[in-house]
Amino acid sequence: MSILRSSIPRTVLAPGSSTQALRATCLVCHSAPLTSPSPRWTPYTRAFSTTPRRPIKDFFPAPDTPGIVKTEAAWPHPVYTDAQMKAVVVAHRDVRNMSDRVAFTMVRILRWGLDLASGYKHDKAYGMNERKYLIRNIFLESVAGVPGMVAGMLRHLHSMRRMKRDNGWIETLLEESYNERMHLLIFLKIGEPGWFMRFLVLGAQGVFFNAMFISYLISPRTCHRFVGFLEEEAVLTYSREIEAIEAGKLPKWEKMDAPQIAIDYYKMPEGQRTMKDLLMYVRADESKHREVNHTLANLDQNSDPNPYVSKFEDPSKPHPRKDLAYQRPTGWERDDVIN
């Protein structure tokens, strides 16, 4: 079953048009060269679609609120420099105990399922193209925002029940979930999901949410380690997409500009607004989620403060931050940030 379909312009004739006009239109269509100019983003175009074209102006139509000019992001995105994003590397944290082993095994199982659902075959005879990568990205981001929301929700309720502070964990977890949802909205500007993709997302999200809910009640540490391992796979996937663009294997994405929603969210500078630049930003986000969750898994789940929103005695010393100033791909150890 085809999950993504390229958008094809259609000619619509008014009722009563002559047969000669229809034939002429068909001749023009068939004689036209099968080339198109480089894709450029407007509010009314999308490079790929998983459903037939509909008579709507935009996938996210603006609300009818004349008195409101713009609604800014609840969590402004930190500024990443080009050098910081290029410094992001593929990394893997070693499995050190039974909790890590359980988390890593679950990630391998999910990776197999995602590869099967998205048709992922990197460096195979029938390798990946823009369409297959887009399917994978949309599916990945549609469930990637679940862990942070579940963890933040449970910690929020736990804090109210105990009538105690959460030491800053809730904000970081919800912000992570929000960031993953922004990734999804950005990719939806490039490819609109059809009914089959929506069905897969519905089932995956329902199963994943409930599994994370029960798992986080049992072992928050294992869940954070699980997300850390999962984000390692996300960094790997986006790194391969970037490499494929640089190698000329994704020609459509080479000429494609990032959608406006991404430019606004990341505050992408002029001259750095291509599809490759967008993937660099998304990969950097995933690397930060990888670091954050590995770090949280190293802490005492009940009493340690969240180092990513804490002020340190010596700010000049490398320490956890929201941006990419000090990167630790496998997470910060507890002794590095608490003692």
HSE at residue 163, side-chain half, CA atoms within 13 A, is 0
Tokens of 128: 């990946």
Distance (Å) of CA 263 to CA 182, 275, 277: 12, 11, 10
Contact 46, 189 (CB under 8 A): yes
Query: DSSP string covering 244-275, please?
Result: HHHTTS-HHHHTPBPPHHHHHHHTPPTT--BH
Cβ–Cβ under 8 Å, residues 187 and 209: no
Beta strands, E only, 145-254: 191-192
> H-helix or E-strand containing 259?
none
| Residue 336 three-state SS | helix
Q: Which of 61, 62, 6, 10 is nearest to 39 (CA)?
A: 6
Residues in binding site:
141, 180, 183, 231, 286, 289
Which residues, at least 6 apart from 214, have a Cβ–Cβ distance to it below 8 Å? none
Token pair 């791909």 in the structure block, residue = 329
- Spatial neighbors of 174 by CB under 8 A, at least 6 apart, are 148, 149, 152
φ and ψ of 92, to 5 deg: -140, 130
The DSSP element (H or E) to which 298 belongs, if any, is: none
Instruction: Detail the residues annotated as belonging to a binding site for Fe cation.
Output: 141, 180, 183, 231, 286, 289
Residue in 280, 236, 228 with CA at minimum distance from that of residue 80 = 280
Q: Are 59 and 191 in contact (CB under 8 A)?
A: no
Q: Which helix (H) or strand (E) is 34 found in, with range? A: none
Maximum separation of any 2 CA atoms in the chain, in Å: 83
